[in-house]
Amino acid sequence: MAAEQDPEGRAAAQPLLTDLYQATMALGYWRAGRAWDPAEFELFFRRCPFGGAFALAAGLRDCVRFLRAFRLRDADVQFLASVLPPDTDPAFFEHLRGLDCSGVTVRALPEGSLAFPGVPLLQVSGPLLVVQLLETPLLCLVSYASLIATNAARLRLIAGPEKRLLEMGLRRAQGPNGGLTASTYSYLGGFDGSSNVLAGQLRGVPVAGTLAHSFVTSFSGTEVPPDPMLAPAAGQGPRVDLAACVEAWLERVCAHLGLGIQEPHPGERAAFVAYALAFPRAFQGLLDTYSVQRSGLPNFLAVALALGELGYRAVGVRLDSGDLLQQAREVRGRLRTTAAQFQVPWLELVPIAVSNNIDEEELARLAQEGSEVNLIGIGTSVVTCPRQPSLGCVYKLVSVGGQPRMKLTEDPEKQTLPGSKAAFRLLGSDGSLLLDLLQLAEETPPQAGQELRVWPRGAQESCTVRPSRVEPLLQLWVQEGQLCEPLPSLADSRAFAQLSLSRLSPAHKRLEQPEPYQVALSEKLQALVDRLGARGPQ
């Protein structure tokens, strides 16, 4: 299977991004003559993250690209030889050199799908040695991506559909790969963009950014722009000295706001002028470097109004400290009165952006009715997932040689569901989601209108359900190493995620104490679980 030679593929993972015991097990399988035994693993999670009732499946794109590029190079094999016993048969290392994923088949939930405990996010089948080696990297690629997407979806649900959300957590992320993953899958989960330029280059995530406080404080006010002249937006007419125009407007703005002309910081104003000269069509003011009301806002207004005379419109202001909700209301009020005073209607509609360690609770405040905030930048709380740092996905063997395998343990929660399986979502006549059904792959798929007896997980008794519609959940993406159909774009997966969430009931979407979503087993699968659980593997 040929590796995809593209930056996104190389960014996914390297074959030795794994745990050593995968290599030791590979040697054990090879020594036992079982390297080519057909096997199937399932990747799933046991509990929904953040105390919620849903997760969003993510990371499939990275997994497929990793599988298609999987190949142990000479340097990889040589390193494994250095950490395995020195008397290891050299023929094993020759075997490793010939490995790829040309015998691997993957079924999975499409990215952006609703996912629930026990339902496979991925089913991976192929030669036992190879699919065992894939365990750790696939878990790494899926677990964090799905956690981030789910966290972003929660934040989007809190913010509502109107507020723009910008992920800006790269500097807080767990390393560069974690930062790229967070930027990518926060977008899939519902954010509007990211500050991460690499996510834009490699993944197509919309990127945004303006200026920091350091830019503002670097100016003292004594600087003279080498070229303060700016042409009108329409491209016709004489160029104007923007700095001089700003000073003229400052007098009028300060008189309107009841401020002394000396109160707005000259260095801040010089910084705004410099930024406006560089970005006249994308000028945004960062208002809280010194004082929002006495400096940042009047300096912004002076520059915005000077630009307005030339046909440009400022794109926003940003607040980064203090009571963001209250300050946004005060700033909006000043924007409205200034717009009316100088008869500049567009000024009162200038978007207000906020940032500053915003978590779920603060986001709920900023999203409440009457909030004047338009754009919310979130960093730490989206990329580090502080409420739950890991999704806890597992990758478990369910069959070898066509025979079901089941993990038995003293902890019932950690028992696995044996056998190769199919998964279906059952819907009611109104389109509502009833439950997800797991059954053995050999069983006839459930039919709309047909009454089914199922065993809800965790329940002591079966129940009956009659779906009006049945949707298969697991899609064939890779068959014996070959991509079966093009992977959706990140933007398409993002749209699908929002559609998926729209179908979930409000009770299941509640972020606190939600109603659990039901996952059930078919009678035949439940019988197999009971048999293997009682007598052990056959």
CA distance 433 to 503: 7
CA distance 290 to 176: 33
SS3 241: strand
What pLDDT was estimated at residue 6? 52
Q: Kindly state the percentage of the chain with pLDDT values over 90.
A: 93
What pLDDT was estimated at residue 7? 52
Amino acid making up residue 59: G
Nearest Cα residue to 437 out of 333, 369, 365, 525:
525
What pLDDT was estimated at residue 164? 98
Residues 81-106: what's their mean pLDDT? 98
Q: Is the pLDDT of residue 219 over 70?
A: yes
- How close are the terminal C-alpha atoms of the chain, in Å? 35
Are β-strands 164-167 and 193-194 bridged in parallel, bridged antiparallel, or unpaired?
parallel
CA atoms within 13 A on the CB side of 94: 3
Give 334-374 as a DSSP string.
Answer: HHHHHHHHTT-GGGGG--EEE-SS--HHHHHHHTSTT----
**Mean pLDDT of the residues in the chain:** 95
Q: Is the pLDDT of residue 9 over 60?
A: no
Q: Is the pLDDT of residue 244 over 90?
A: yes
Q: Is the pLDDT of residue 225 over 60?
A: yes
Question: Could you say which DSSP state residue 530 is in?
Answer: H
**pLDDT tens-digit profile of 62-91?**
999 999 999 999 999 999 999 999 999 999
Residues 184-202: what's their mean pLDDT? 97
Q: Is the pLDDT of residue 1 over 60?
A: no
**pLDDT tens-digit profile of 366-417?**
999 999 999 999 999 999 999 999 999 999 999 999 999 999 887 888 889 9
Give 369-423 as a DSSP string.
Answer: TT----EEEE-HHHHS-TT-S----EEEEEEETTEE-----SSGGG----S-EEE
Residue pair 353/317 in contact (Cβ under 8 Å)? The answer is yes
What pLDDT was estimated at residue 534? 73
**pLDDT tens-digit profile of 14-33?**
999 999 999 999 999 999 99
Amino acid making up residue 81: A
Structure tokens at 75: 């340097």
Nearest Cα residue to 512 out of 37, 52, 1:
52
Question: Could you say which DSSP state residue 207 is in?
Answer: B
Q: Is the pLDDT of residue 263 over 70?
A: yes
What pLDDT was estimated at residue 2? 44
Residues 476-500: what's their mean pLDDT? 97
Question: Could you say which DSSP state residue 356 is in?
Answer: S
Phi, psi angle pair for 455, to nearest 5°: -115, 100
Residues 109-131: what's their mean pLDDT? 98
**pLDDT tens-digit profile of 284-340?**
999 999 999 999 999 999 999 999 999 999 999 999 999 999 999 999 999 999 999
Distances (CA, A) of 167 to 189, 193, 515: 11, 6, 29
Which pLDDT band, with edges at 50, 70 and 90, does 3 fall under? very low
Q: Is the pLDDT of residue 261 over 90?
A: yes
Q: Tokens 């696939």 — which residue?
A: 138
Which pLDDT band, with edges at 50, 70 and 90, does 465 fall under? very high
What pLDDT was estimated at residue 367? 96
Quick one: CA torsion of 356, 357, 363, 367, rounded to 10 degrees? 10
Structure tokens at 25: 């097990």
What pLDDT was estimated at residue 411? 81
**pTM metric for this prediction:** 0.94
Largest CA distance in the chain: 90
Q: Kindly state the percentage of the chain with pLDDT values over 70.
A: 97
